[in-house]
Each structure stands twice: as C-alpha cells, then as structure tokens.
Amino acid sequence: MRIIVALDIIGGKCVRLTQGKFNTKKVYNEDPLEVARQIEDNGIKYLHLVDLDGAKNKKIENLSVLEKIAWKTKLKIDFGGGIRSYDDLINTINSGARQVTVGSIAYTNPHLFLDWLAKLGQEKLILGADCYDKRVSTNGWAETSEKDIISFISEYKSKGVKYTICTDIKKDGMLQGPSTDLYKEILGSVKINLIASGGITSLKDLENLKQSGCEGAIIGKAVYEGKLTLKELGKQC
C-alpha cells in the first residue's frame, strides 16, 4: 500500500483544516517546500498536494507551490483543488503533477470529466470521491448531494476510472481513525485502486487499511500534530 502525505495550501502556506471548515485553519509551516523536503528526506515518495484556495474559489490559486516542489524534489505529486478546465489539467501536469485529482466536475459535469479521462488516460486522472454520510460532497465540501458514494465510484469505474481518493469528511482532521468499514464496503462492490483519506492516526490504522485492500493511504493532520512521524511512515514505504 502506498504511503502518501498530504500537504494542504492556503495563501501559499502549509495548513490543515478540520472537516474541511476554513474557520478551523491552522498554519503549520510558512514554507511548503520545506515540508516537502522533509517528507522526501524520510524516504516517502508520494505527496497529495491540495490547493484549498482553489477548491474554495473554483480556480487554481497555488500553482506556483506545485512548480516549486516539483522542481526541487523528486516527490510523485498528485494535485487537486480548483480544476475547472482542460487547460487547468494541462497546466497542472506541465507544472510537475504526476496525477490530477478532480472531484466537483466529476459530479456536476460527468461528460466533461469523461472527456478529460479519454484525453489524459486513466493513469493521470484520479476521481475525487469525498463524502458525508456516504453522500457525495463537492466544491470544497461546501455542498453535499443525495448521490450515494458507492454508486458514484462504481459508475465511473465502469467508464474507465482506475484510481479514486475517498475522504470521509466526518473523519477528516479528527484524529479518530479512518472509515475502514466504508472502504471495505466500497471495495466489496467495486474493484478499483482506492486511496483512503481522513482520520488516519496510527500505524494500526494503516495496517487495517492495507488489510481492507486499499491501494494507498493519505496521512495529513496526524503528521503535523506529531501522532505519526515522517520517520515512522518512511519505514512503511
């Protein structure tokens, strides 16, 4: 199972939110590149870089952060937040992203998302499948639909999607463990490369996710709050 560290950006700084709420913002480092280098120095290869300004404002705001990290580290980066056009996708990839995560457009404009999938290919485009009470959430988690998360993922798997990141918003930033049962339920219905996100706090959480069949796990707040060290995570890689 791939170990992926999250780096969330607001105003060019490394931050974390709780359950996606901007009024819970906590700045952990003024320099995201410094954090990225620490991640790399501990043997971790994968970075989940999220433009929270972009997600909120529906346009990419922190592309320069991606460029700097991609230029000055060898981390394999997936980037998400604020992508609304094919040009956004290309600019993101040209700026150094190995993969791009798209969630809101996949829900609001499926035909456009599938067009992007056809153009980029299944290795480049990740389906962002965030949920609250098993219902799909979009637009920086500001809106929750009536769409069931399992059927959402299943429908896109049938149309060629290979990777999906699934975040249970209730768990995100709470440091109370991930939604392992939800991931087991998803993988019991859909054979897809599922990347778990939200609530991961311990090595035991990671072991449980691995046993459930997840292809990857994204760890964020637990690192920044010292619950899990980069050294510990590096040993899992």
Q: What is the set of active-site residues? A: 8, 130
What letter represents residue 62's amino acid? N
DSSP string, 17-81: EETTEEEEEEEEES-HHHHHHHHHHTT--EEEEEEHHHHHHTS---HHHHHHHHHH---EEEEES
Give the contacts of 33 (CB within 8 A, at least 6 positions apart). 65, 68, 69, 72, 73
Q: What is the chain's alpha carbon radius of gyration, rounded to the nearest angstrom?
A: 16
What tokens were used for 93? Answer: 């990839």
Please list the helix, strand and coil fractions of the chain in percent, rounded to the nearest 5, in that order: 40, 30, 30
Local structure of 236: helix, strand or coil: coil
Start-to-end C-alpha separation, the chain: 8
Local structure of 140: helix, strand or coil: coil
Q: Tokens 């153009």 appear where? A: 119
